[in-house]
Homo-oligomer: A and B are copies of this chain.
Amino acid sequence: MKPETHLRGDGGLSSRTRGIAHHGSGGDSGHLRRLNLDRVLVVAMDRPDSFTRAELIEATGLSAPTVGTLVSHLIRSGVVRELGAGPSRGGRRPAFMEFNARHGFVAGIDLGPTRTRLSVADLRGEPLAHRIVPTPAGIGPEALLSRMAGAVRALMRDEAAPPEKLLAVAVGAPGVVDYDRGVVTLAPNLSGWTNVAVRDTLERALEAPVVVENDVNLAVIGEHWRGAARGHVTCVFLFVGTGIGAGVLIDGELHRGHHFMAGEIAVMCMGPQYLSVDFGSRGCLETLAGLQGLAARWPSGGRGDPVRWMAELFEAAQKGDRTAHQAVDETARLIGIAVANVGAVVDPSLIVLGGALFAQAEPLVHEVRKVVSSSSPRWARKRPSGAASSWPPARRAASSGCACAKRASRCEVVDRHG
């Protein structure tokens, strides 16, 4: 039996330490223990190779006996594997050990409007396998999810990973996600997705704890963990594609907002002249600067594959085509304003630009950068924010899913065998 309850309560992305001893339930000495065990685990996971107890003592700042008992726990549970003695450095030979990344697995499911990315990773978050499938259309959310669950199981089989070793699943969805309840409240780009209980459905199908999160939120976690935003505890991932959205990381924690709509800048108003315009369900910024907006500025835009006509547009712009150039410029300016405004509100140390638009057009990124730096006041000259993510989206999706499941899996590991 899996301790899902515990995970749901403690294991999500939100790692903020709660008040202690919530109701005398069994005391609270365990709190300390868990904290320190977590510390040891973090260090162990981050070591690419083997390590010794002495290194853990050094890295965690804990005392030798404490590390000793914690490590022996981890060894007993199988999360850490003993490797035998290593070469001496002038004294007793150290006992080497390594983090057993394959002690469990995590899966990521990134539901896109057209494509869905599936991935399975080890406990360190290293992707082992991934697959991109067209998002099935015409079937209900339940059927779709069950099909995806099947695909995850297949990936697990391919990696010779027994199903019960699936310790956590992260799901990203384009839209508003009620993280607490694991429900996709509304996803305009997935037809028929309103109040879909993704977590419950998938937990039944996969028998593993599931977290559901907005896709851009997952992206910012991924960028922070393994991507362009490493080391930037307060950062923003700004995505421009068909839709426009931002993921906001504050002090290393995801900021979701009161209605789980933080970063929904699709609706950002780009000036008083647009106040009387009704943009429908799509917001001002998204309508003006999203793929749709770009298409409206380019005669042959909007027809056929977006990737194709966008490539043509950018090529034409570079060759001096006035219309094309203007289309790119106007879009870049709007995005630049959005970036600057988000920057003014959040004041991150980095804003990462992602999405199809940036992946294809370095000039556009350049223009955005220019707007941002001109819009910041002289006395506030920040470091140039906005480095287009050079990270392949697929990889990003995979690892962000893993990042999402990271903490969850850690807790799981600890709890099941501790």
Contact = CB atoms under 8 A, between A and B. Distances in A.
Interface in A249-267: 250-251, 255-267
A360 interface: no
Given A269-B341, A272-B333, A345-B346, A264 B21 contact: no
A234 B258 contact: yes
A374 interface: yes
A119 B81 CA distance: 61
A104 B142 CA distance: 60
A292 interface: no
A122 B141 CA distance: 57
Given A251-B16, A340-B269, A347 B21 contact: no
A348 B20 contact: no
Contact of A337 (B251, B275, B279, B281): B275
Interface stretch (A1-9, A28-36, A69-77, A124-132): A28-36
A137 interface: no
Given A344-B265, A345-B265, A255 B250 contact: yes
Contacts of A273: 271, 273
B347 A261 contact: yes
Given A32-B28, A347-B259, A271 B268 contact: no
Contact of A262 (B23, B263, B347): B347
Contacts of A394: none
Interface stretch (A88-96, A196-204, A378-386): A378-386
Given A186-B379, A270-B272, A342 B345 contact: yes
A348 B267 contact: no
A245 to B, nearest CB: 10
A19 B32 contact: no
Contacts of A374: 275
Nearest to A256: B347
A388 interface: no
Contacts of A35: 19-20
A364 to B, nearest CB: 15
B347 A267 contact: no
A370 to B, nearest CB: 10
A218 B174 CA distance: 36
A380 B19 CA distance: 32
A346 B263 CA distance: 7
Nearest to A234: B258
A248 interface: yes
Interface in A1-56: 16-17, 19-24, 28, 31-32, 35-36, 39
Given A271-B271, A333-B275, A258 B377 contact: no
A342 B382 CA distance: 20
A375 interface: yes
A264 B348 contact: no
Interface of A: 16-17, 19-24, 28, 31-32, 35-36, 39, 61-63, 176, 186, 188, 232, 234, 246, 248, 250-251, 255-275, 279-284, 330, 333-334, 336-337, 340-342, 344-349, 371, 374-380, 382
Given A256-B347, A267-B344, 8 more contacts: A16-B16, A23-B61, A31-B32, A32-B32, A265-B345, A267-B377, A268-B341, A273-B273
